[in-house]
Structure 1
């Protein structure tokens, strides 16, 4: 201990947890860390650690009554080798996700997440009979069905078309997952695409009837890589819970898609898209931001509690958008929102996150408002399946939570 700072191992000893759990606490904003100057590792504020330790003891649930023949249910700490959020950066299996997105495409990122190598990555192709079955099912949906809802339907239908879906060996899960990711895209309305086109190129044709402007597919590819995983976000927790019950990969993806439907998660970019449309129409961000503040609504697309200094995914995608033709007005609107949200304080406390960057991309490419949600869901399917493969190696049904009952007692 020095100057009120603790090393990672000291924090683990104080809290009685593993070192990996300390990093998890930091990634969730429960502890703030600082890099050791000129060295490796991080240090933590001893006062924050003490407060967290007291909170743990105060809120620890009552021990459950033992059940004959079954081990007691213990709180679950999810260890993972997949994703780390630390010091304002995002890493996939130890590689910086932003650098990965700048150098490689989505297929390579999936290969890296799935543990099969970054080159050549994973071939994301779907069998013709699977695509045909999904398109027949999609044809029965009302024409106004939203694209994200079509993804949810396709995941369920794809499960019914795979009689071997309960084969949970990793090689089988990877093969089924690669086909499912491709099929989710191919089942969306749109024209046929060349067999050798990347997944990003195929997805563009499902989001826009117009040909992509120069560089747009590369930006879409970057967005897919940046969104492939994000540690234990709520949809990923839902996916891992399903996997802990040994649900098949299609059900795991359906669980993730269900959790991502909320306005605070996968659908968040649609709200940022709407706000950005208002700013572009008004030509000024101040009255739009002012109206959000007046009505008590949060300003969408700003800040992220895991990135106090700014979301690196949003910064990377916005930097790529800056290379597209005609990007000046959209990026100026994004900058104006950030500055207006900062009020009389400069610089603004919260920078644009990946949801606002997705909204800007949709506006720049003249894509529908739901495009960001589709990109999120397609990309995150790779992460959900990576977590499922990891969870399949653990003891089944370990994700059983315990309730801290505060209602009427039986004796009362």
Structure 2
């Protein structure tokens, strides 16, 4: 901006077409569409090249657009949904008003799930599934190709569990809670076991461990896994959670809503991110230093997995909690040191902190698990959160999660194509 031009908020300030488009979050041609509809006025620039727009008028239109779309001011026109489940604030997060890291330190995954669903703690609660439901899920999972990924297995298991439940279309709170308490243990039981002696009863973390690692679990390792499940139960409106709420808004049953979440989770920018961090960690351990590995990642134009989070300016509180527990496990020390090397090396390039994906990578790499294990942990844990959001959405107006498209195609009517 030139020195003689009016500053922000000055009544005489004019914006170029590009500036107006950036402020409105639209393409330049859409700015002219607003002019043609009488929502903006324009003034030709001297010489007739382009137009300018009154800043006050553009800002007022931007505010109206945010209000009409349900977005909060300053949110970049993102969708805002009222929820009583999770709050993320000042590098901390809370489940129904209670610090989530403190809950995970003191309560099991199943107890935290009950807290999310009902607002009540049920000490000692354990989820079990009928043998017929588990058998149906195992049959379809066993029929999948050997190279099938964990999220595919879980999604197929959820569909099989739904087909085995004639009451799945009952969306009352008690029925959905019953579904949740059966679906989660079914997902775990349907996964191929890594240990010959694999439990199907007891704490869910112990049952899941036998599907992820060929090593016998000690109490310290099970505590880390159970805490990870509890920390990952929910994280506000992540992409997969939004997909679940859209499905629930259309009154899809709980199994289908969870399937929608699993479909989104498979992306490399969401649930699969921990697998990328796992492979990076193994490469650092193999080379003995993070320097050459990070250099190669940056040279290839790739972002460093396991670092940074758009909702936290400092270290991800979930990572901090898991690192503290992993420090108590001697065999995790090499992976922990490699993770710290990754953070310190990257800090020279960008001030990024460890996120939960890097902590999951330390857990999985030091426990003899596959790189996909973090994705499995994430998916099983988040299923409880998805159910909580589905329950909340079932209490809202149906089909409210139906945004309107903003058409920016060719003007109509166009002639029929040849």
TM bucket, shorter chain:
0.7 to 0.9
2:128 alignment partner in structure 1 = 125
2:357 alignment partner in structure 1 = 355
| CA distance in structure 1 between the partners assigned to 2:257 and 2:355 by the alignment | 27
Residue 76 of structure 1: CA displacement? 6.4
User: Could you tell me which of 182, 185, 189 is aligned with 1:186?
Assistant: 189
> Which SS does the other structure have where 2:331 is aligned?
coil
Q: 1:194 to 1:294 in 2, by over 3 A?
A: closer
Q: TM-score, normalised by structure 1?
A: 0.81
Q: 1:138 to 1:411 in 2, by over 3 A?
A: closer
Q: Is the 8 A contact 2:214 2:368 kept in 1?
A: no
Across the two proteins, how many residue pairs are aligned to each other? 349
Q: 1:89 to 1:164 in 2, by over 3 A?
A: same
User: Could you tell me which of 136, 149, 154 is aligned with 1:151?
Assistant: 154
| CA distance in structure 1 between the partners assigned to 2:61 and 2:284 by the alignment | 44
- Larger-Rg structure: 2
Higher relative contact order (CA 8 A, sep 6+): 1
Q: TM-score, normalised by structure 2?
A: 0.79
User: Could you tell me which of 311, 320, 324 is aligned with 2:329?
Assistant: 324
Q: Deviation per CA, 1:150-207: give whole Å up to 9, x if none.
A: 1111011111111110000111101111100000000011156446420000000001
Q: Is the 8 A contact 2:284 2:293 kept in 1?
A: yes
Cα RMSD, aligned residues only: 2.3
| CA distance in structure 2 between the partners assigned to 1:63 and 1:193 by the alignment | 53
| CA distance in structure 1 between the partners assigned to 2:91 and 2:187 by the alignment | 32
1:87 alignment partner in structure 2 = 90
Residue 319 of structure 1: CA displacement? 1.1
User: Could you tell me which of 383, 399, 404 is aligned with 2:385?
Assistant: 383
| CA distance in structure 1 between the partners assigned to 2:264 and 2:106 by the alignment | 30
What is the 5 A alignment of 1:27-46?
none
Moved more, 224-233 or 325-334: 325-334
1:245 alignment partner in structure 2 = 250
1:296 alignment partner in structure 2 = 301
Matching of residue 100 in structure 1 with residue 113 in structure 2: no
Q: Is the 8 A contact 1:110 1:121 kept in 2?
A: no
| CA distance in structure 2 between the partners assigned to 1:275 and 1:158 by the alignment | 35
Q: Is the 8 A contact 1:109 1:121 kept in 2?
A: no
What is the 5 A alignment of 1:11-410?
54=59, 57=62, 60=65, 77-115=80-118, 117-120=120-123, 122-190=125-193, 191=196, 193-194=198-199, 196-343=201-348, 349-410=351-412
Q: Deviation per CA, 1:311-349: give whole Å up to 9, x if none.
A: 1001111111111122221111000000110117xxx61
> Which SS does the other structure have where 2:329 is aligned?
coil
Q: 1:56 to 1:104 in 2, by over 3 A?
A: farther
Q: Is the 8 A contact 1:61 1:402 kept in 2?
A: no
| CA distance in structure 1 between the partners assigned to 2:160 and 2:135 by the alignment | 11
| CA distance in structure 1 between the partners assigned to 2:413 and 2:210 by the alignment | 63
Q: Deviation per CA, 1:120-179: give whole Å up to 9, x if none.
A: 264311111111111122221222322221111101111111111000011110111110
Moved more, 131-140 or 256-265: 131-140
2:46 alignment partner in structure 1 = none
| CA distance in structure 1 between the partners assigned to 2:371 and 2:106 by the alignment | 28
Q: Is the 8 A contact 1:111 1:117 kept in 2?
A: yes
